[in-house]
Amino acid sequence: MPGEAAKTVPPEAGSTATRILDAAEALFAKRGFAGVSVREIAGRVGLNQASIYNHFPSKQALYEAVLERGLGPITDLLAEGKGSFQSRDFQEQLLERLVDHLWRTPHLPKLIQREVLDGGEYLERLVDHWLTPIYEQGTSAMEATPGFVDWPLADRPLLILGLYHLLFGYFTSAALYARVLGKDPLSPEMRRTHLDFLRRASDRLLHQDVNAPTR
């Protein structure tokens, strides 16, 4: 998108390590691990290249610190309501809070999507240790949701991941949305539209008593 002109992280914005993480997060999200040089990250923070290594032992470690920092709140969010997935209210609330968080950290979905595309090993750990438990618990909780059990068993995992794509896709494909919609998808006024759409879509997919034949 616009304004590629080297934005600098303002010097007052938190500790040096935090400012490095901020700059790295933005850059890794925009161009991926291989597409970003340590020099560039340092430049954004107004540091010499070598100074990065006073805060992080390697580019890889910095990358992982970025992921860690970004993913923590999300897995927390999910883990938090471990026992209450079956309540529709909770589901609504969770959706709202997730959307909220993503709107505040729009780099995050891109980072995750890049990690997923790479099949990176960090993803592996994340999925195994955090997501799978939550996923399984969530799934079993959903068994109580009428609209969910309408779906064939085999489709249910795809449905859940589909919901994930519906949610994350908006951010990972912001560039595409911008082009197609003709307006900035991250503008404040799009936020409500986005949430409304997600509510409606998940409603149709999850909470409807469906007798309609698939054809």
Partner DNA sequence: GATGAATGAGGATTCATTCAT
Partner DNA sequence: AATGAATGAATCCTCATTCAT
Question: CA 15 to CA 13: how far, in whole Å?
Answer: 7
- Picked from DNA, a second copy, none, the partner binding residue 79 (CB below 5 to 8 A depending on kind) is none
Q: Compose the 102-121 pattern: x for residues touching a second copy by CB under 8 A, - for all others.
A: --------x--xx-xxxxxx
Among 96, 100, 124, 143, binds a second copy (CB under 8 A): 124
Site membership for a second copy, residue 149 (CB under 8 A): no
In order, the DSSP letters of 91-121 are HHHHHHHHHHHHHH-THHHHHHHHHHHHT-H
Site membership for a second copy, residue 97 (CB under 8 A): no
Do the beta carbons of residue 160 and residue 139 sit within 8 Å? yes
Rounded least distance, CB 12 to a second copy, Å: 27
Integer CA distances (angstroms), 181 to 60, 103, 173, 186, in order: 36, 18, 12, 12
Among 46, 75, 162, 184, binds a second copy (CB under 8 A): 162
Rounded least distance, CB 81 to a second copy, Å: 19
Among 9, 25, 28, 55, binds DNA (CB under 7 A): 55
CB neighbour class for 158 (10 Å; exposed up to 12, middle 13-18, buried from 19): exposed
In order, the DSSP letters of 10-50 are PTTSS-HHHHHHHHHHHHHHHHTTTT--HHHHHHHHT--GG
Among 51, 93, 140, 193, binds DNA (CB under 7 A): 51
Q: How many residues bind a second copy (CB under 8 A)?
A: 65
Tokens 């997600």 identify what position? Answer: 198
Rounded least distance, CB 49 to DNA, Å: 4
- Picked from a second copy, DNA, none, the partner binding residue 44 (CB below 5 to 8 A depending on kind) is none
- Picked from a second copy, DNA, none, the partner binding residue 55 (CB below 5 to 8 A depending on kind) is DNA
Q: How many other CB atoms are there within 10 angstroms of residue 137's CB atom?
A: 16
Residues that bind DNA (CB under 7 A): 16-17, 36-40, 47-51, 53-55, 57-60
